[in-house]
Amino acid sequence: MLNIVLFGPPGAGKGTQSAKLIEKYNLVHLSTGDIFRANIKNETELGVLAKSFMDNGKLVPDEVTINMLAAELDNYKQPKGFIFDGFPRTSAQAEALDALLATKNTSITLMLALEVEEDELRKRLLLRGADSGRADDMNPEVIQKRIDEYNAKTLPVKEYYQSQLKFKGINGLGNIDDIFSFLCNEIGM
């Protein structure tokens, strides 16, 4: 299996590149942000809980997120592989993911990290908010909170994969198709 973690701060372009990667490599796309938003839309119990964190730019608690992802993984019987988008976002999530994949006799192949500086992220997120109406992209304070959460809790996940020699950083500035070719080069197939 080809299991990729697509990593990067909010607004780095994970969603855009995931869409291209799943098409090329036939992978299952698991975006925890998308799953939370679907739950919010359907007004599930999980959605109500997640919304209270997301609206404030905070991470949803690990236990909730990990259980949700575990249930989601079980929906796919013989996948070619997964692309994890927005997960893992904490070291505890990274450890849980390794354990979950081990029970399925597989593991993470590679972490691909899209690197974009903060000023550019703030600009992109505000633009996306104006376009999509996504609440957490429309408020500069919430955007800053998400960037701060990323720096405090999510950046350490990079070291987790670095120590496993699975980390590859890619410049996330520039043309979407160029960035996509850099990602494909790293995947090497």
Site string for ligand ADP, 91-120 (x = CB under 6 A): --x---------------------------
Kindly tell me which of 12 and 27 has the beta carbon lying closer to ligand ADP.
12
Residue pair 50/64 in contact by the 8 Å Cβ criterion: yes
Kindly tell me which of 91 and 162 has the beta carbon lying closer to ligand ADP.
91
- Taking CB under 6 A as the binding criterion, the range among 75-83, 84-92, 96-104, 157-165 that sits at the site for ligand ADP is 84-92
- CB crowding 13-22: b at 16 or more within 10 Å, else e: bbbebbeebb
Minimum gap (Å) between residue 56 Cβ and ligand ADP: 8
Residue pair 21/75 in contact by the 8 Å Cβ criterion: no
Residues 6 or more apart whose Cβ sits within 8 Å of residue 49? 60, 64
Residue pair 46/64 in contact by the 8 Å Cβ criterion: yes
CB closest to ligand ADP, residue no: 33
Does position 10 interact with ligand ADP (CB under 6 A)? The reply is yes
Which residue is associated with the tokens 């291209």? 20
Minimum gap (Å) between residue 78 Cβ and ligand ADP: 25
Binding residues among 36-65 for ligand ADP as defined by CB under 6 A: 36, 53-54, 57-60, 65
What is the number of other CB atoms lying within 10 angstroms of the CB of residue 168?
A: 16
Binding residues among 127-146 for ligand ADP as defined by CB under 6 A: 136, 146
Kindly tell me which of 159 and 185 has the beta carbon lying closer to ligand ADP.
159
Kindly tell me which of 149 and 167 has the beta carbon lying closer to ligand ADP.
149
Kindly tell me which of 36 and 180 has the beta carbon lying closer to ligand ADP.
36
C-alpha–C-alpha distance, residues 44 and 114, integer Å: 32
Q: What is the Cα Rg of the chain in Å?
A: 16
